[in-house]
Amino acid sequence: MDAGNDIILRAENVTRDFYRKSEVIHAVRGVSVEIKRGTFNILCGRSGSGKTTLINMLAAIDTPTSGDIFFEDVNVALLNERKRDELRRKNIGIIFQNTALLAQMSALENVEFSLSVSGKKVKNKKDLCIEWLEKLGIRERRNHMPAEMSGGEQARVAISRALVHSPKLILADEPTSELDSKTSFRVVDLFRELVDKEGLTIVMTTHDVNIMDVADTIYTMEDGVIVSERKGNKAI
Ligand SMILES: Nc1ncnc2c1ncn2[C@@H]1O[C@H](COP(=O)(O)OP(=O)(O)O)[C@@H](O)[C@H]1O
Ligand SMILES: [Mg+2]
């Protein structure tokens, strides 16, 4: 691996303003951050500090007002819509609160659908999907429709769906907010294992102080800027 390849994702002086009537909200104000390949990163901070706005831009779902985002040295803003979609489908697993499961599909079908749109070649697709549901502890719910599952169960299907196509990078906005503390630990332990064993890169937001130390690096946001960066303990 060459030296430049070490950084999978980079934000350079990124800002995002929202305009509401005559008011301007500076949700993110000049964030520069480099995410190393094969690391577990947590973005924490109070509600309203800009975490969701920043992670949306890192996921190429939203565009910065100024500044640049690079995925593997490709400036994401310069990609057309189709290329950006392809980047997300193949390389990035997204776990966002507002990306709901497809209501007319069962848990298993939601995961299978994600795997098929990724274009990843797998021998036995169904077995792989069931394996991921099993890892998240919801195998027995596989034939349930989203409306027949609790918020926490739906969240775990959404996590299975994001991981099934083995993306290089996982971006997750408060993935544990609907989960009880035992299940939250299970999810972050799984994330830790994927980083250590498969070399995955994870960036997730949370305000749960109990799970933060499992990360390699914890960034704290305040009022649209990253105010501190510290190392985690890895084990919790
Ligand atoms: N679409 C939007 N329109 C206007 N203001 C927004 C929008 N999204 C977020 N904001 C504002 O930007 C700031 C940061 O929000 P957000 O990124 O959601 O914070 P967090 O995820 O840390 O709670 C907040 O003041 C919020 O009200
Ligand atoms: Mg948020």
pLDDT of residue 151: 87
The per-residue pLDDT string of the chain (236 residues; one tens digit each, 9 = 90 and over) reads 444 579 999 999 999 999 998 999 999 999 999 999 999 999 999 999 999 999 999 998 899 999 999 999 899 988 898 998 888 888 899 998 767 899 999 999 999 999 998 888 999 999 999 999 999 999 999 999 999 999 889 989 999 999 999 899 999 999 999 889 999 998 999 999 999 998 999 999 998 888 888 999 999 999 999 999 999 986 55
User: Nearest C-alpha to atom 13 of ligand 1 is from which residue?
Assistant: 27
User: Distance between the two ends of the chain, CA-based, in angstroms?
Assistant: 31
The closest-lying atom of ligand 1 relative to the alpha carbon of residue 47 is 23
What backbone torsions phi and psi does residue 223 show, to the nearest 5 degrees?
A: 50, 45
The per-residue pLDDT for 119 is 87
Please choose, from the candidates 130, 173, 129, the residue with its C-alpha nearest in 3D space to the C-alpha of residue 155: 173
pLDDT value at position 1? 45
Residues with beta carbon < 5 A to ion ligand 2? Answer: 51-52
d(CA 151, CA 174): 13
For residue 143, count CB atoms less than 10 angstroms from its CB and return exposed for 0-12, middle for 13-18, buried for 19 or more: exposed
Residue pair 136/167 in contact by the 8 Å Cβ criterion: no
128's tokens: 């792989």
Q: Which ligand is nearest to the CA of 174?
A: 2
Cβ neighbours for 108, distance < 8 A, ≥ 6 positions apart: 126, 129, 130, 133, 142, 143
In CATH terms, the fold of domain 3-231 is: Rossmann fold (3.40.50)
Residue spans of the domains in the chain: they are: 3-231
Give the tokens for residue 200. 């995955």
pLDDT for res 10: 97
Nearest-CA residue for atom 10 of ligand 1 = 27
> What residues have CB less than 8 Å from 151, skipping those under 6 apart?
178
CA dihedral over 166, 172, 178, 180, signed as positive or negative: positive
Distance CA 177, CA 186 (A): 13
The per-residue pLDDT for 235 is: 56
Q: Which atom of ligand 1 is nearest to the CA of 46?
A: 22
Residue 219 has phi, psi (to 5 degrees) of -100, 135
